[in-house]
Structure 1
Amino acid sequence: MIKLIFDALTPKQARIAAVLYQEGSRRGINVVITCRNYFHLADILRIYGVPYVCIGRYGVTPYEKLVYGLERQRELVEYVKDVDGMLSFPSPDLARVVFGLGKPVIVMNDTPHASHVNRLVIPLSEVLIAPAAIPQEIWKSYCPRRVVTFDGVFEYMWISKFAPNEEVIKRLGLRRGEYVVFRPEEEHASYYLWNTATIRMRLVEEFRKRGYVIVNVPRYSDQIINGVFNLTEAVDHLQLAYFSAGVVTGGATMATEAALLGVPALSYFPGDYYLDRYIRDRGAPLFRCRDLESCLVAVEEMLKIGRTSPPKFEDPTPLILETATEVVSLREN
């Protein structure tokens, strides 16, 4: 049995790891999952019921990122010694260890703007797996040896398997269509160079004026908002999104998930994100804004449109596992 290791660093990556673990088990592939201590990360893995081990923590300052990363690398060595390779989103800690032990690195990615981790990981990889909607020339500065693409987005790996369960929101005291989910920006990430907290708080007030309950899902403790429903222990975010009036985020994942479910979603991430137009062209109700004025206009549009029929995409799960198997087999031969 092939044994691969996945280092989940975000809730999105935890979902991908869980799907690969479950599908890999059916294909004779053992996916070992590691993670770090970070808001909602281990919670998502517990929701999926997959085995995992959390190692180390998230650093906020450059000094912490370096020191905590070095500490994680030393601990990860013990989990990498008997694996056949890495199958993961970019994890500098895991990639350094796997590469150092002479094992192949297979990396998935849909965030070319995350230049710090991409510069550290993609050059070490045997193959990069990415959505075809991202222009291949965008990846060239990271020197991938080979790029494999698919007609879809990674979020479809779990959206395609989603089953609504209204009891999840009822247990929280929430009512269908009467709340809006907020996911703050990734302000402590190395690539996040903007200050968008003012826009977030103005949007919170806009929806509150319209009578909606605000469900805030913070990434960090300093993003807890007074006077709203702060969800600091994870429930299934897909259930939250599905029964909401809309989702607003400073990132991309929760907006993409909601839009793929047919729920109107707004992202105020100020950088370029190549998948937005691709998703919208397929009929998903996904909106983007870069300043307060355009964000307020987008609020009007998303509430006017409301729910739509969920679009269809390619599930990349089989391609990912087949590509990883091929890379490991070639290395062994």
Structure 2
Amino acid sequence: MPLFNPARCRADLGDVPAARRQQRHLDPPIFPLANDLRDLREQHRQVRNSRHLQGDSGSLLRALDGFPRRDGHHSNRCGQAVAITLTVQIASRSQTATVNADALSSGTVEGLAMVMVLFDVLTPKQALLFWAVGKELKERGIEVSYVGRRYAQLDWVERALGIELKPLGEFGGGTLEGKLLASTERQRLLAEEVIASRPDVTVSSGSVELCRVSYGLGIRHVLVSDSPHSPVNRIAVPLSDLVATPAFIPLAEWRRWCVRNVRVLRYRALDPVAWMRRLGDLTANGQAPEGDYFLVRPTEHMASYSLGRGLAETLSVVEGLLSLSDARVVVLARYPEDVAELRRLYDPRVEVVAEPRLALPLISRALAVFSGGGTMAQEAALLGVPVFSYYPGELPAVHRFLVRRGLLSVLGDLSRESIGRAVAAAADRRFRRRLAERARRLRESMEDPAVVVAEAIANLAGRR
């Protein structure tokens, strides 16, 4: 791919009165610059490292011969200086800048700063969130790229959202040894990628590999996370320039990881709001089982914060629901181990969804959601669907917030009595109506986290 693609230069006559624009000599001409940029091409083959386009502007001035001159300057017939908009593509980055034609006479074209943001996507939740943030950045003229890892749970979201994840490394599995070896190899691969692409800002939800690489190369890193309880924050937070997090999480939970120079940006929303506001059609038209069913989401038992805990609890929940209700039980599995264990129940009312998929259509039609994780519990609460959490260990801050708002209930234990009370509540129509109204009011009161985070990233990139 050539360093410069054919570019074009056009007059921006926005300041010329509309009546005068109708005159033929004021029609904004288009000038092909493919040949004119030949000299610049040779001068800027190393532009990846320079981050700016600088060079002799004589070739650009030759493209302006169609404009009338006034006192040696390019101007329109009204005597106004003409602004030139130049669009070029350099090292696969597109950037548009507007410069005054008179400024070109100085012999140098400067200021075409190319801004690029790199996201590291490790989970489906991160893919959904960073897809939304990336859309906002692209609307601001910022280039976005995504890297990920070889991980079965990411394949579906890549297809559904139409984003391209460059796989670097793989998932480390459910042991600390496996995670350490996979992380070490990923850090090397990420270092090579970041050195080659030279992003202005990197973003993750706790990628210790990207944090370390960004710090080592002097690149600003933004941590976007609603999980201050995660042990990766011991490394990720001190190496970040900015932590973006829901305002409902107490600052004290982040400050225990922070050093003096880390800023915390708090937005008045929960993370799922970012993709729920952009996936309306997929949610309404997505696949879901027929008839009444309870939806169960197993615990993330291979995560670093819950290694080995949760699968037995999921089996207890499913067995309790089968004994207390005639409805079907749909389990949205995480790993092949989940599928193998759940299929041992041999009950025709149990449907195990082995292929990862968008959960919103399943949630929106469920009688209730029983969640051992975090993201689906938030999605269900925001949709006004009854949700009961059996999260292992201490309840995360966002869950505690939803409990206070009356949108999430915690199963104190997994006894038949506890599960029975949850089933009875889910069948109460008045309870469901109150829940739906609370959820609607909360959703409408929240700002768009993708917009807030994108603005923060753009500002950080602009302060290089």
Shared fold, TM over 0.5: yes
Cα distance between partner residues in 2 of 1:167 and 1:322: 31
For residue 432 of structure 2, what is the aligned residue in structure 1? 306
Contact 2:132 2:278 in 1 (8 A): no
- Cα distance in 1 for residues equivalent to 2:408 and 2:137: 31
TM-score where L is the length of structure 1: 0.90
**1:241 paired residue among 363, 366, 371:** 363
Partner Cα distance (1:323, 1:236) in 2: 28
Matches within 5 A, 1:1-333: 1-59=114-172, 60-81=174-195, 82-115=198-231, 117-144=232-259, 145-163=262-280, 167-169=285-287, 174-176=289-291, 178-192=292-306, 195-209=309-323, 210-224=325-339, 225-226=342-343, 227=346, 228-270=350-392, 271-282=394-405, 285-293=407-415, 294-304=418-428, 305-306=431-432, 308-309=436-437, 310=440, 311-312=442-443, 313-330=446-463, 332=464
Question: Structure 2: which 5+ residue stretches go unaligned?
Answer: 1-113
What is the DSSP-based 3-state SS (H/G/I as helix, E as strand, rest coil) of the residue aligned with 2:302? coil
Q: Tell me if the contact between 1:287 and 1:302 (Cα under 8 Å) persists in the aligned partners.
A: no
Structure 1 residue 239, shift from structure 2 partner: 1.0
Q: Decide whether aligned partners of structure 1 residues 113 and 296 sit closer, same or farther in structure 2, where only a CA change above 3 A counts.
A: farther
Aligned residue identity for 2:266: T
Contact 2:332–2:353 (8 Å) recurs in 1: yes
Unaligned 5+ segments in structure 1 are: none
Deviation by residue 1:123-147 (Cα, 9 ceiling, x = unmatched) = 0011111111111011111115111
Contact 1:215 1:230 in 2 (8 A): yes
Amino acid at match of 1:55: L
CA distance in 2, matches of 1:104, 1:246: 42
Q: Distance in 2 between matches of 1:250 and 1:323?
A: 32
**Whole-Å Cα distance in 2 between the matches of residues 297 and 112 of structure 1?**
31
Alpha carbons 1:159, 1:261 under 8 Å: kept: no
Offset at 1:40?
Answer: 2.3
Partners of 1:295 and 1:211 in 2: CA distance:
14
Q: Please tell me the residue identity of whatever aligns with 1:168.
A: G
CA positional deviation for 1:79:
2.6
Larger deviation, residues 245-254 vs 122-131: 245-254
> TM-score scaled by structure 2?
0.66
Q: What is the distance in 2 between the residues matched to 1:127 and 1:167?
A: 37
Residues 211 and 30 (structure 1), Cα distance of their counterparts in 2 relative to 1, 3 Å cut: farther
Larger Rg: 2
Deviation at 1:282, TM superposition (A): 4.5
User: What is the Cα deviation at residue 89 of structure 1?
Assistant: 0.7
> Is the CA contact (8 Å cut-off) linking 1:18 and 1:45 kept in structure 2?
no
Determine helix, strand or coil for the equivalent of 1:169. coil
Q: Runs of at least 4 residues of structure 1 off by over 6 A?
A: none
Q: Aligned partners of 2:320, 2:237: CA distance in 1, in Å?
A: 41
Which amino acid is the alignment partner of residue 28 of structure 1?
G
Q: Distance in 1 between matches of 2:338 and 2:117?
A: 35
Q: Counterparts of 2:224 and 2:296 in 1: how far apart (Å)?
A: 26
- CA 1:229 to 1:291, structure 2 compared with 1: closer, same or farther past 3 Å? same
The percentage of aligned residue pairs carrying the same residue is 33
Q: Secondary structure at the match of 1:137?
A: helix
Report how many residues are paired. 325
